[in-house]
Amino acid sequence: MTDLKPLTVSAIPTALERAEHYRALNEPSGAESICRDVLRADSENQRALVLLILSLTDQFVRGVPVTEPCALIKRLTADYERVYYEGIINERQGKAQLHRGTPGSAANAHDWLSKAMTSYERAEAIRPAGNDDAILRWNACARVLRNHELGPRSRDAVEHPIE
């Protein structure tokens, strides 16, 4: 197996710009790889942690599990950032569930989006002055719920697999 080459600390700002560029090109796995290299050089780099969280959540539709992004938010140092990105994780997982279209996915999407909205409300309460990002995300979730007519899972509903 080939050992990974270390990134120099002085290269971190340029590497992070490149990671943002890969995300913009819809190449989240490339951004993920860069963020992992940055974090090997500077394990507490907040920008790299955020970009890694976003890169992983960009891949939820492809089946990337939610566990690693959830673990990464615990490493964010600002309370607002932790709560806000918890909302992002939940929102993107909800949208990925909706995209799957499998039995139960609409109810799962509703559950994830509702959790996201709760996180965004908590983030709104502690947001920095002039930062309405949590409000914008809450509204986006509300629109998805409304546009797809998603409601809570019925306690009486039992979904049977198609045979």
Q: Please indicate, yes or no, if residue 24 is contained in any of the structural domains.
A: yes
Helix, strand or coil, per DSSP, at residue 91 = helix
One domain for residues 13 and 59:
yes
The encoded tokens of residue 39 equal: 């974090």
One domain for residues 143 and 84:
yes
Query: Quick one: what percent of the chain has pLDDT higher than 90?
Result: 85
Q: What is the CA radius of gyration of the chain?
A: 18
Q: Please indicate, yes or no, if residue 146 is contained in any of the structural domains.
A: yes
Q: Which stretches of 21-158 are assigned E, i.e. beta strand?
A: none
Residue 126 in this model has a pLDDT that exceeds 80 = yes
Find the farthest-apart pair of alpha carbons in the chain and give their distance in angstroms, rounded: 58
Give the pLDDT score at 104.
Answer: 86
Of 29, 53, 75, which residue constitutes the final position of a domain?
Answer: 75
Q: pLDDT, tens digit, for every residue of 82-116?
A: 999 999 999 999 999 999 888 888 999 999 999 99
Distance in angstroms (rounded) separating the CA atoms of residues 55 and 59: 7
Give the pLDDT score at 151.
Answer: 79
Q: How wide is the angle at C-alpha 99 spanned by C-alphas 96 and 101, nearest 5°?
A: 120
Position 11: which residue type? A
One domain for residues 70 and 85:
no
Distance in angstroms (rounded) separating the CA atoms of residues 80 and 23: 23
Of 75, 108, 127, which residue constitutes the final position of a domain?
Answer: 75
147 contacts: CB under 8 Å, gap ≥ 6: none
Give the pLDDT score at 163.
Answer: 54
Of 10, 45, 75, which residue constitutes the final position of a domain?
Answer: 75
- Provide the whole-model pTM: 0.90
Of 46, 62, 132, residue with least CA distance to 95:
62
Of 144, 160, 49, residue with least CA distance to 91:
144
Local confidence band at 125 (pLDDT 50, 70, 90 cut-offs): very high
- The domain of 127 spans 78-151
Position 31: which residue type? A
Q: pLDDT, tens digit, for every residue of 31-50?
A: 999 999 999 999 999 999 99
From residue 125, give the alpha-carbon distance in Å to each of 67, 90, 116, 119: 26, 18, 14, 10
Average pLDDT score over residue span 20-29: 98
The encoded tokens of residue 114 equal: 């509702």
